[in-house]
């Protein structure tokens, strides 16, 4: 007998929406020209590419030429972090980020350190929200870049980007924002935020994997990190992924259509989930700020259990969720985000992330709570008896 499956891991990736698939599939078979070619096949592809750029630009209030299509959020973040810092001149270079960034940013900063750049990683308190004053204190005369994510992928906490941008603008320091988990969940206005660069990913908003974008404010110095042709206005070489871009544009249009309504619906579902967990499962609680976060994300600890074991138990019951842990060389380490905000390693390993999306319903949430109650009780009993 097949187990009915429910998906609660939308921050990891989302299914491709039917509307997005409908826009993308014809491109795979019919719009196969190279968008850089001058013949009719190439120009048909170029028209599709630029329409997608306009659709995405509308979602974030950007000028379309300022958007660079990439292979995803990781490349967008790498291009921003490495490109801006390498373009900077001066005897010394210093860059600032936070301890709770996505690995796409943290690994790029680690590479900068190997290149001789001084890096400051701002600490973040239990709320999971960066304090602008801590960023200000980290700035130096030779600071050439600040990078702070808009929404944390594990906690869902929303960072005060506009306040941080005011600090960096006063000192003429470019601010890069990893906006991967904010796009489609919050109203994003890159001009109002005041950042210099904003990274995005298609597969987080119901487009396929393999397509992303970086918004670059006019006048922001950006060195190349890959080399080839003159695509994307000399900012990212390589033949553009036109079907992927078309899908991203369609997903952006879909996200804009009912952002407020979907936010309200997901907020109600998330609160329903959390209230039931806290009411029915002892020694459980919310990691990070319960107030300043996006609607779809909940990071919950269940003391006395192993998070990986709980993920497996839920998966066997038909519920897909995730932990904040990452596997490295066969060893499970606690989430760097949770440990960075002061959560002990034991509680960090006992934490799960639930990220809701368009397919989730109140009935699914109630079923998930029932499975959680049974699984946590069983795992705690095994732990005590074992």
- Reported as a single tens digit per residue, the pLDDT across 244-253 is 999 999 999 9
Of the candidates 96, 169, 172, 101, the residue with the CA atom closest to the CA atom of residue 134: 96
Residue 328 has pLDDT above 60, yes or no: no
Give the full edge-to-edge strand order of the sheet including 67-70. 67-70, 212-216, 197-201, 175-178, 143-147, 94-98, 118-122
Contact 182, 296 (CB under 8 A): no
Residue 326 has pLDDT above 50, yes or no: no
* Strand 351-355 relative to strand 118-122, pairing: unpaired
Of 230, 257, 284, the residue at which a domain comes to its end is 257
Q: Are residues 294 and 199 in the same domain?
A: no
- pLDDT at site 332: 67
Residues marked as catalytic: 327
Q: Are residues 206 and 309 in the same domain?
A: no
Of 257, 289, 320, the residue at which a domain comes to its end is 257
CA distance 188 to 105: 20
CA distance 285 to 290: 10
Question: Phi, psi at residue 95, to the nearest 5°?
Answer: -135, 155
Residue 349 lies in a domain: yes
Q: How many domains does the chain have?
A: 2
Of the candidates 293, 344, 302, the residue with the CA atom closest to the CA atom of residue 323: 302
Of 237, 257, 277, the residue at which a domain comes to its end is 257
Mean pLDDT, all residues of the chain = 95
Instruction: Work out the percent of the chain whose per-residue pLDDT is above 70.
Output: 97
Residue 4 lies in a domain: no
In the numeric block, which tokens belong to residue 29?
A: 């078979």
According to DSSP, residue 186 is labeled B
Q: Are residues 67 and 88 in the same domain?
A: yes
Q: Are residues 164 and 245 in the same domain?
A: yes
- pLDDT at site 383: 77
- pLDDT at site 51: 97
What confidence tens digit (pLDDT) does each residue in 204-215 have? 999 999 999 999
CATH code for the domain in which residue 230 is found: 3.40.640.10
Strand, coil or helix: what is 38? coil
What confidence tens digit (pLDDT) does each residue in 29-64 have? 999 998 988 999 999 999 999 999 999 999 999 999
Q: Which structural domain, as residue segments, surrounds residue 148? A: 18-257
pTM score, two decimals? 0.96
- pLDDT at site 386: 58
């Amino acid at each position: 007998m097949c187990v009915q499956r429910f998906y609660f891991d939308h921050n990891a990736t989302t299914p491709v929406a039917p509307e997005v698939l409908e826009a993308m599939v014809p491109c795979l078979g019919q719009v196969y020209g190279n968008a850089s070619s001058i013949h009719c096949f190439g120009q048909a592809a170029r028209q599709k590419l630029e329409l997608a750029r306009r659709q995405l630009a509308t979602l974030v209030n950007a000028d379309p030429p300022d958007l660079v299509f990439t292979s995803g959020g990781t490349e967008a973040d790498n291009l921003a972090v490495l490109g801006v810092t390498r373009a900077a001149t001066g005897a010394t270079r210093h860059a600032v980020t936070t301890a709770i960034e996505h690995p796409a940013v943290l690994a790029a900063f680690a590479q900068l350190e190997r290149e001789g750049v001084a890096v400051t990683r701002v600490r973040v308190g239990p709320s999971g929200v960066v304090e602008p004053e801590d960023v200000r204190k980290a700035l130096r005369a030779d600071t050439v870049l600040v990078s702070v994510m808009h929404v944390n992928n594990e906690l869902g906490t929303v960072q005060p980007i506009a306040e941080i941008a005011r600090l960096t603008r006063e000192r003429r320091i470019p601010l890069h924002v990893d906006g991967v988990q904010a796009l489609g969940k919050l109203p994003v206005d890159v001009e109002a935020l005041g950042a210099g660069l904003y990274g995005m990913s298609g597969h987080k908003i119901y487009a396929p994997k393999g397509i992303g974008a970086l918004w670059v404010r006019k006048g922001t110095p950006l060195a190349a990190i890959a080399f080839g042709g003159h695509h994307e206005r000399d900012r990212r070489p390589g033949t553009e992924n036109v079907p992927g871009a078309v899908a991203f544009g369609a997903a952006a249009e879909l996200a804009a259509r009912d952002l407020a309504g979907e936010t309200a619906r997901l907020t109600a579902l998330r609160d329903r989930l959390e209230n039931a967990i806290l009411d029915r499962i002892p020694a459980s609680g919310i990691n990070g700020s319960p107030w300043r976060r996006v609607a779809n994300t909940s990071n919950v600890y269940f003391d006395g259990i192993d998070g990986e074991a709980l993920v497996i138990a839920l998966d066997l019951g038909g519920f897909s969720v995730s932990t904040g842990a990452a596997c490295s060389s066969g060893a499970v380490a606690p989430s760097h985000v949770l440990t960075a905000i002061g959560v002990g390693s034991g509680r960090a390993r006992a934490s799960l992330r639930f990220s809701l999306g368009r397919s989730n319903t109140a009935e699914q949430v109630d079923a998930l709570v029932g499975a959680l109650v049974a699984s946590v009780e069983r795992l705690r009993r095994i732990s005590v008896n074992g």
